[in-house]
Structure 1
């Protein structure tokens, strides 16, 4: 069977419905800070990412204000290449008059949020992809391709190339994307074809199927562009034989592909890379059974030369800000270790001497930890993820079983940014006896399930990961109820099953995958 019939559902749709006032207000605030402090790279990067996400959302909704929004993204993108902020200032003054619906669907830029990419990472590879003075037609694949295309076009313009950009959103399932250009886009393509331009398609990825990049490349060929005039520019070099779209290998080899990578590798060149499961060699005894990991989904992590500091990519832009805010709150409350923002999406955590933590120690502490999260990390106006559908599909595909259950029991009573992963190896007891939970701020609101959900997910996680004895689980539930007044017993059994099934699948790598992206199969 094909991958779209066998792959399991672990990725969620991380798009968020956000009010017009919230989107524009947040961007205005960030731009105001940038105009007051134009040399601040962190504020600049946040403003650029927010502008790109707004432009992408407006383009997806076919808004008449997309062109104005794109002009702001372009104005910001030009700044690292000698452009002035004056144009961005003028555009910011008219944003209150934009024709924008009351609510927008904002899609996070995954590479900037989770995978260690920064907007400027694409600049030099884009310049190197196009011959001097040759015109370039840059096509960004939304969402992250919006910002990447703006930087690529600005970099090419600074190098003396004529360059313009458009953005597209291919349709269809994750294994069979298709793209149809609009009449206006076809006119733009024809104009650049007459200039003998190179067509540069930019995005992160490719993903597991490769079909998103392929859909754009093949649509250009259908519009009369020779394949040799097309370059696909993504964030990693795939093995074409591992891509699982139909006839992917032969289709992929028709195009030139060029990869760009995160600048973090250069920034932390004197550090030890401990991402992709390498941390197990450093922090866990070789005598113990190492926990499974999904290397390609792990955040970038580096260890200082003296072994005392861990540098981890927690995210750029609003996503990264929220992660560090949660990490600081947990540290202040005594549930996690200190965190320091060191720029470009990275956070610094101290490496703490640890001692073994028997399961008998965790129930009281875990009750307090979950009670804290339930009180402090609640979210409003958030659509819950379809946990029941995820559970049914994965049970059917992995075990060929179907069970009848009340879906309402997986509907959150209140929405919380949960921990998401209650793994024993992430719990530390310091020399002074303090219990700390590491890796506690990122997973509850990333691009994997469960997303913000009921705190019963974490209670179930503790029971599953620690294989708690029924008496210990009963104690945990009783203590949590005493601390919060909330009784989870009725809905916990289904959350136990959902957590166990997801964690089984969330760490499983599809055979032969170059990068195991298991797309949403809803």
Structure 2
């Protein structure tokens, strides 16, 4: 099944520097967590700049051949990483933001006019906080004192997010700038391509430890171990290697040491390498200084809290919204964002992770626009990755008796029209083309219904791709219209939940034409043809655009195939819970039946 994809932006190097300068100016005029958050935003942009330059001119060549742009961008990233570490360690008290020299050096260079920045899922979706890596590195440095000098550690960063996190680890250790390794492919047997200078540095001094840092998905340390394996095969002792994942692997604890005997294979040696990580939830809820905790970030928005934050992540929100577990909708806990309930003197608030830096700020602005238009709960503000919005208690899922369907469908049409007409995608955002959606639909249909069905679907849709691609007008789609995503107010009014994430997440489908949401509404609510006409009429009137019936017809089986893939993979992810598995299997069966009706009959 195919459900994930890579989001990309295309932006010039000078434009990236302008963005960094804007974030630093905003940080300089702010204080507390607001100042710190904008500093981290600048750091994330610098990470993207370093990775964009590395992809244009890979770092695996000798240092003498690396470009002046790469060296200058890394110098800027290191300065910002040091500033982030100082800001966090002082609980936002250190205000040194002077990187004018580094920015000036970069502006004097001829930066590329078009850099591809791959979506930093770790920062924008997987709740990866650079401060957690800084804390892990500080703890690691403390454990070395009296034995080895932390500043002698060789730091290696993997991939885009890993490059930035490696700079944080190096800054916390006082170590030199990190080596950069390109993303390690997920394909079995893929081997990383490491810089020649890294091998030289790692083998020249057997006393130096090596810290390998990755920003991949939580609980996935495959890339870390691939790089470690390459170093061990080159003659580096496994006892010198330390891993810095985003979270500790579930099967191992921190601080495990290599117990493999002399002559053991690298696989056995690398399996027991020590890992150093600080869990994000622990950092946010139990930072040593109470002023650095999430609860302290939000009280100016919510008023004084009357109880500790209640964790609603991993599907726990259903306990608050539904009367009994039998009424719970399916949920894949691993895919859910961090979310907390904040009880305060002003009432209950939902504190939900939306992304660090510019991506989080953009989503917060989107949430405010939707709330002001009356489509989502009221928004109090944004604090370093988290949107704070009013919590709405609800019992049960959305119910639609025949008499209520016309009003709901009209409301849904106006909601989608607002998204299409008033929520543009960020400049330079690269959407998934229709031919990639077709590949997904063919693969998922074949996996769920058999090869013949997959081929029939692909044959029926293939002829339309070229013509329809020219009709696509990308929008910040909702992407998640299921019945349980709607909040029913006491007066019968409706609000949409979870409305800002799914147009720009790690999913394959994002930033599509609003016709994707029209197809989603048809599928989720089994709309009749007259109901579809009502939906499109309300959307068209609200957005003042035309919705292509041909494009909607193309996207409808793609939507069903995509949701089938999500449900099947979700069922595998929750296999350890019988109740969750039952819910997910029932959902996958529903999408499979819908998809069956959309697959063309085989030719005689």
With the shorter chain as reference, the TM-score category is 0.7 to 0.9
Residue 54 of structure 1 pairs with residue 49 of structure 2: yes
Change beyond 3 A, Cα 1:12–1:248: farther
Q: Cα distance 1:24–1:342, how it changes in 2: closer, same or farther (>3 A)?
A: closer
Listed as ranges, the gaps of 5+ residues in structure 2 are 58-66, 88-93, 253-264, 287-292, 296-307, 577-604
Higher relative contact order (CA 8 A, sep 6+): 1
| Residues 1:505 and 2:555 are matched in the alignment | no
Tell me the alpha carbon deviations over residues 488-519 of structure 1, each in whole angstroms, 9 at most, x when there is no partner. 32222221211122122224337776999xxx
* Alpha carbons 2:199, 2:234 under 8 Å: kept: yes
- Provide the secondary structure at the position in 1 that maps to 2:47: helix
- 8 Å Cα contact 1:136-1:199 kept in structure 2: yes
Shift of 1:373: 0.9
State how far apart, in whole Å, the 1-side matches of 2:443 and 2:171 are. Answer: 44
Please, what TM-score do these two structures have when normalized by structure 1?
A: 0.87
Deviation at 1:128, TM superposition (A): 2.8
Structure 2 matches for 1:431-446, cutoff 5 A? 431-446=490-505
Cα drift, residue 258 of structure 1: 3.0
Task: Pick the aligned partner of 1:329 from 364, 369, 376.
Answer: 369
Q: 3-state DSSP class of the match of 2:276?
A: strand
Q: What's the CA shift string for 1:416-458, capped at 9, x where partnerless?
A: 0100100111212323443211111111111113111110111
Mapped pair 1:343 → 2:338: no
Structure 1 CA distance, aligned partners of 2:467 and 2:315? 35
Kindly tell me: are residues 485 and 57 of structure 1, through their superposed partners in 2, closer, same or farther at Cα, counting changes over 3 Å? closer
Change (3 A) 1:487 1:512: closer
1:389 aligns with 2:439: yes
In structure 2, what is the equivalent of residue 68 of structure 1? Answer: 72
Deviations 1:87-113 (A, max 9, x none): 622112222123321100112322221
Show the counterpart of 2:489: 430
Find the aligned partners of 1:515 and 1:58 in 2 and give their Cα distance. 42
Distance 1:248 1:14 in 2: 34
Tell me how far apart the structure 2 counterparts of residues 123 and 304 of structure 1 sit (CA, whole Å): 27
Partner of 2:532: 473
Greater percentage in helix: 2
1:33 pairs with 2:18:
no
Alpha-carbon displacement from aligned partner over 1:244-282 (angstroms, at most 9, x marks no partner): xxx998575142233321122333582111111111111
CA deviations 1:436-488 (Å, max 9, x no partner) are 11111111111113111110111111122222233322321233344434143
**Corresponding residue of 2:91:** none
Alignment counterpart, residue 253 of structure 1, candidates 249, 252, 271:
271
Distance in structure 1 (CA, Å) of the matches to 2:209 and 2:231:
11
CA apart distance, 1:9: 1.3
1:185 to 198, 220, 223: 198
Assess if the C-alpha contact under 8 Å between 1:170 and 1:216 holds in 2. no
Structure 1, unpaired ranges of 5+: 1-7, 242-246, 517-522
Counterpart check, 1:137 vs 2:154: yes
The reply on whether 1:231 has 2:250 as its aligned counterpart is no
Counterparts in 2 of 1:42 and 1:207: CA distance versus 1, 3 Å:
closer
- In structure 2, distance between residues paired with 1:382 and 1:108: 10
3-state SS, counterpart of residue 508 of structure 1 = helix
Q: Indicate the SS of the match to 2:549.
A: coil
Contact 2:224–2:243 (CA<8 Å) still a contact in 1? yes
1:174–1:211 contact (8 Å) kept in structure 2: no
- Going from structure 1 to structure 2, the CA distance change for 1:72 and 1:256 (only over 3 Å counts) comes to same
Distance verdict in 2 for CA 1:342–1:172, change over 3 Å: closer
Q: 1:309 to 1:34 in 2, by over 3 A?
A: closer
TM-score by length of 2: 0.76
| Cα distance change, pair 378–164 in 1 and its aligned pair in 2 (3 A) | closer
Q: Which has the larger radius of gyration?
A: 2
- Deviation, 1:225, is 1.0
Q: Number of paired residues?
A: 498
Query: Please, which of 14, 22, 39 is the counterpart of residue 15 of structure 2?
Result: 22
CA distance in 1: counterparts of 2:220 and 2:245, whole angstroms = 14
How far has the Cα of 1:206 moved from its partner?
5.4
Aligned-partner Cα distance in 1 for 2:220–2:30: 43
For 2:557, what is the secondary structure of its paired residue? helix
Q: Secondary structure of 1:258's partner?
A: coil
- Contact kept, 8 Å, 1:337 with 1:436, in 2: the verdict is yes
User: In the superposition, relative to structure 1, how do residues 490 and 35 fare at CA in structure 2: closer, same or farther (>3 Å)?
Assistant: same
> Structure 1 residues 140 and 469 mapped into 2: Cα distance closer, same or farther (>3 Å)?
same
Distance in 1 (CA, whole Å) between partners of 2:187 and 2:9 is 20
